Structure 1
Amino acid sequence: MNKLRLCALAVCAAASTFATAQVGVTIDAGKPGPVISRYVYGQFAEHLGTGIYGGLWVGPDSTIPNTRGWRNDVVAALKALHVPLVRWPGGCFADQYHWRDGIGPRAQRPVRINTNWGGVDEDNAVGTHEFFDLVEQLGADAYVNGNLGTGTVREMSEWIEYMTADGTSSLARLRARNGHPAPYKVAFFGIGNEAWGCGGNMRPEQYADAYRRYATFLHPGGDTQFIAAGGHDEDTSWTDYLSQHIGGWGVRAHGISFHYYTSPGADKNGKYGAAGFDESRWIHTLSETRRMEGFIAANVAKLDAHDPQKKLMFAVDEWGTWYDAEEGSRPGFLQQQNSLRDALVAALNFNIFHAHADRVRMTSIAQMVNVLQAMVRTDGARMVLTPTYHVFRMYVPFQDAVSVPVTLAHNPLYTFGTDAIPAVSASAARGKDGKLYLALVNTNPRAAADVTVDVSGTAARGAAGSVLTAAAMDAHNTFAAPDAVRPAPFQAAARDGGLVLSLPAKSVVVVTVQE
């Protein structure tokens, strides 16, 4: 065992000495719930800053090792997460993206201005074929976002045909001449993005009319699911209206999207710092991310009223933290540090998504590389994994697992200043391998939490897995110290047929329960 892991275990032992919370967790393993779709662990790659260019794509002639332009180190790291879904090309960028700009010889593709993100040149080196090469390398499915803002019905319809048509249509033959005779699989297709804002500043009524018009003429060659661009934050009016009005004869609709970004709010200096924050910014960030629970519940209530058969999914296809950009970074590139706090934000959201697995059947965090709450950060040829990356990897067993009910008793509030949130968050599921998995989050940065776990109907013999924690609230990995925050082994003992776990302060724990 290396010195770093010994230190991590020492943190665990020290934290348990000061445990204050005594929390009871009951897992009702005999009452299986809905499947937690693997698509809940989707990712988002937008033409934004170095999120694609430099971070993922370096071009086939780069000295950085790559496969057909996609850098090998980043792809390998993401493959370890079993990334199920990649959303592309945006985001706000999607509503200014014209797909024909991104096909054919790269040297002949037009250069456009990315007016949403930094006003930089977009040379369209990454287009349809390059994107599908990426998802194929990752073993992921594709979520393509269409241009409703500046595009036309014909343009969107032809892109669908270009990607998915099988046979001898002109567009299928064009795709073949450009290097891919077989049709691509488009798992999800978004009709526009943020129609309430950068996608056109529409009202729900306007967008619903546009959705029905566009969707009428989209005829994918496979089982593509269509996602309507819905609302954000506390606004439920989009879900309410769209769930009643986006259907119709010949109109396909499979889900309504939702966006929510977690922000700590400004400190006394007017800063939204990604690092160097105090405990007031720690708890306020976690409190803000917990609002996702209420937002989902309010929107699901609208869906249940208008779609009791649960045909429509609630797709949280943009979520994550949003802070001030790093000092010295280019404006509009949304490059920010990623700390232990972000890891807890991710885990709290996963537990919320699991609790609503019957409706939340797809999400995508913003974003994969270098932008906002990224999995990976790069600088030239260097790469570092973030704390958020490690949480995604810890939660891999929950992909396509069957959720099981979890109840918490005697769960104290963690309080600081005017904020108060539950100290412990929990989720459990039966994995595809038949094993029972339990995820726990201790939000308190100052005190450990002693947890007893009872698995109804069976006796637990122990539990083993991993824990993610660190000494500082803003601990993060750097190119000089890439392993400052990483998981360490974690075990729990059995007692009287149950389990006893001591969760270190500010930690995420995922274990396999031994039955």
Structure 2
Amino acid sequence: MAKLIINENKELSTIEPEIYGHFSEHLGRCIYEGIYVGENSDIPNVNGMRTDVVEALKELKVPMLRWPGGCFADEYHWKDGIGPKETRKKMINTHWGGVVEDNSFGTHEFMELCRQLGCKTYVNGNLGSGTVQEMSEWVEYMTFNGISPMADLRKENGHEEPWNVDFFGVGNENWGCGGNMTPEFYANEYRRYQTYVRNYDPEKPIKKVCCGANVDDYFWTEGVMKTCFSHAEWAHGFMDYLSLHYYVHPEGWEIKGSSTDFDGDVWYKTLNKALHMDELITRHGTIMDKYDPEKKVGMCVDEWGAWYTCEPGTNPGFLYQQNTVRDALIAGITLNIFNKHSDRVKIAALAQMVNVLQSVLLTEGDKMIKTPTYHVMHMYRHHQGAKLLESSVTGIDEIGPDEWKVPKVTESVSKDKDGVITITLNNLSIEAAEEVEIQLSNGEYKVAESRIVTNSDMHAHNTFEAPEEVVEKDFADYEVKNGNIVAKLPANSVVEIRVQK
């Protein structure tokens, strides 16, 4: 029997709520149709935002939303998306599908969405094709509470008070779609651009995100950190976060693989690749430690998730894909890894929120369904803002084909301000259940809540015809023995058990 040993006396780092953030890009049907339908739509909405989508996202306690990209960000010129909608410039979305972008969803609409969600704002600026002046004026437009050309323009466009910009990305993927830059060139550009991302309200400082690496490009991390910290003493606000992007492609970047048609070997191959996130965080973090040993710079994994071949019959530039039990495990594994690395990982964003890649919601006309990933993130919401507890699993086997072996069980544990301990466990096996004895050191606890996301069919997924094939349910297959909890985790399952004195 596997044993989960928890030391509830040893609180480690805080699991920042923003680790459970989301990403919304002008890509496919993420924003248009997915989130925003316009004020005149027959689909119920508030100021153009779909009511069903907003209400579902509020249940997740979405802490932060990143916008407008992604690759789209470094071709986005913010002034095209303000003012009367009938006069806003139209453009071709060259990155995603070659469709017309009418800019009806812009700065005001994004801020309205975040208001409705009650979440923090993460705006990604255009360094690749934009100017320092353009970026500086956007920050002024959004955040300055005074008399200035940009503040006056915001007021003319109907918003008297400034907004809060909690996080600002200075460029995106500048090693690729954001300009194909070298790390040294980008780092020097970052130093220049970030200077003009001004904090107009010292009590509400904007935290700046520097563009980090793609997957295992440790050369990029080394070059950016070295250049950014060269000839400059540490100054708070110069760089608050360094990003990292990693997608799980079961069959590699070119082929990717089907979201619903896969065998057992591909199941384990996929989960093995999801577990690679742990090595990436560790190795990039080690490089960051050389220049930032006090961990003042957080890691920001602001694009993560599974990326499959798009669904047959859909626009290949829209990146629309289904979401199965396998994706529930990817989410559970990844979020456990983020929790375990919460001393360095401070922000993360699932890509993407609706209708794109590993989304939490899918829409079709006026219909909406929640994906298996949604239900896992709903369970894991209890980790937000809690303290990571020291924990480890013993007595577990590795399973799967030799090249793609994975541990049978992964976990993370946290304690909230009320003393409630949240335990999240994943059984990665598609063959067998696994008994886990949960050992707590401070006497007996009672189970306050226990939930599960699973299906005996690893291909199971929710459709508009059958929306509840994979949902969150009560979990009762456990018993308390001698003060410990013995839980039987079904095959391919994500389980949450919450305990208190």
* TM-score normalised per structure 1: 0.94
2:154 and 2:226 map into 1 onto residues whose CA distance is 37
- The letter for the 1-side match of 2:218 is T
- The letter for the 2-side match of 1:455 is L
The 1:257–1:271 alpha-carbon spacing in structure 2 relative to 1, beyond 3 Å, is closer
* RMSD over equivalenced CA pairs, Å: 1.5
Answer with 492-501 or 322-331: which moved more: 492-501
In the alignment, does 2:294 pair up with 1:309? Answer: yes
Q: Say if 2:256 and 2:307, in contact at 8 Å, map to a contact too.
A: no
Q: Say if 1:39 and 1:363, in contact at 8 Å, map to a contact too.
A: yes
Aligned to 2:207: 225
1:220 and 1:31 map into 2 onto residues whose CA distance is 37
Aligned to 1:342: 327
Alignment of 1:64-75 (within 5 A): 64-75=43-54
**Cα displacement (A) at 1:461:** 3.5
Q: Which runs of 5+ in 2 are unaligned?
A: none
Q: Say if 1:462 and 1:493, in contact at 8 Å, map to a contact too.
A: no
Aligned to 2:303: 318
Q: What does the per-residue CA deviation read over 1:157-190, in whole Å, with 9 as the maximum and x for residues that have no partner? A: 0000000001111211211121111111011000
- From 92, 107, 110, the equivalent of 1:131 is 110
Aligned to 1:57: 36
Alignment of 1:199-218 (within 5 A): 199-218=178-197
Q: Say if 1:463 and 1:499, in contact at 8 Å, map to a contact too.
A: no
- The letter for the 2-side match of 1:237 is F
Aligned to 1:355: 340
Match of 2:321, SS state, is: coil
**Cα displacement (A) at 1:266:** 6.1
Q: What does the per-residue CA deviation read over 1:181-227, in whole Å, with 9 as the maximum and x for residues that have no partner? A: 11110110000000110000011000001001111222132311000
Identity percentage over the alignment? 45
In the alignment, does 2:77 pair up with 1:94? Answer: no
Aligned to 1:476: 461
Q: How many residues align?
A: 493
* TM-score normalised per structure 2: 0.96
Match of 1:231, SS state, is: strand
Aligned to 1:240: 222
Q: Say if 1:279 and 1:416, in contact at 8 Å, map to a contact too.
A: no
Match of 2:139, SS state, is: helix
- The letter for the 2-side match of 1:124 is N
Match of 1:314, SS state, is: strand
**Cα displacement (A) at 1:463:** 5.6
In the alignment, does 2:413 pair up with 1:428? Answer: yes
**Cα displacement (A) at 1:414:** 1.5
1:415 and 1:274 map into 2 onto residues whose CA distance is 19
- The letter for the 1-side match of 2:213 is G
Aligned to 2:170: 191
Q: Say if 1:468 and 1:507, in contact at 8 Å, map to a contact too.
A: yes
Q: Say if 2:419 and 2:500, in contact at 8 Å, map to a contact too.
A: no
Q: Say if 2:447 and 2:497, in contact at 8 Å, map to a contact too.
A: no
In the alignment, does 2:28 pair up with 1:46? Answer: no
**Cα displacement (A) at 1:270:** 5.7
1:27 and 1:135 map into 2 onto residues whose CA distance is 37
- The letter for the 2-side match of 1:308 is P
- Large movers: runs of 4+ above 6 Å: none
In the alignment, does 2:389 pair up with 1:404? Answer: yes
Q: What does the per-residue CA deviation read over 1:359-412, in whole Å, with 9 as the maximum and x for residues that have no partner? A: 100000100000000010001111110000000100010000000011111111
Match of 2:37, SS state, is: coil
Q: Say if 1:314 and 1:362, in contact at 8 Å, map to a contact too.
A: yes
Q: Which runs of 5+ in 1 are unaligned?
A: 1-21
2:438 and 2:448 map into 1 onto residues whose CA distance is 10
The 1:161–1:266 alpha-carbon spacing in structure 2 relative to 1, beyond 3 Å, is closer
In the alignment, does 2:100 pair up with 1:118? Answer: no
Aligned to 1:108: 87
1:117 and 1:328 map into 2 onto residues whose CA distance is 16
Match of 1:361, SS state, is: strand
Aligned to 2:272: 287
Match of 2:411, SS state, is: strand
1:384 and 1:189 map into 2 onto residues whose CA distance is 31
Q: Say if 1:195 and 1:202, in contact at 8 Å, map to a contact too.
A: yes
